């Protein structure tokens, strides 16, 4: 297997890494109570997920 002939420049390295940045996740709203909730997670306020009651919430 051959080795690279030349060193990767700063410009080429940074262009390759341009898509690696983390993006902020926008919270959606719960279908049953309307509170903001992160995607793919049970609502902390009412305990529902995708329209089904999955957890009992103590007050």
Q: Is the pTM of the predicted complex or chain greater than 0.75?
A: no
Per-residue pLDDT, 1: 80
With CA atoms as reference, report the closest residue to 48 among 59, 58, 9, 37.
37
Per-residue pLDDT of the chain (59 residues; tens, 9 = 90+): 889 899 999 999 999 988 888 888 899 999 889 999 999 999 999 999 988 888 888 77
Per-residue pLDDT, 49: 93
Per-residue pLDDT, 41: 93
Per-residue pLDDT, 23: 87
What is the full DSSP assignment across 1-59? Answer: -PPPSSPPPHHHHHHHGGG----PPPPEE-TTT--EE-TTS--TTT-EETTEE--PPP-
Domain boundaries, the chain: 27-59
């Amino acid at each position: 297997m051959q080795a690279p002939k030349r060193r990767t420049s700063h410009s080429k390295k940074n262009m390759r890494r341009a898509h690696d940045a983390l993006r902020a996740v926008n919270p959606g709203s719960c279908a049953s109570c309307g509170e903001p909730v992160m995607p793919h997670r049970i609502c902390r306020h009412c305990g529902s997920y995708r329209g089904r009651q999955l957890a009992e919430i103590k007050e």
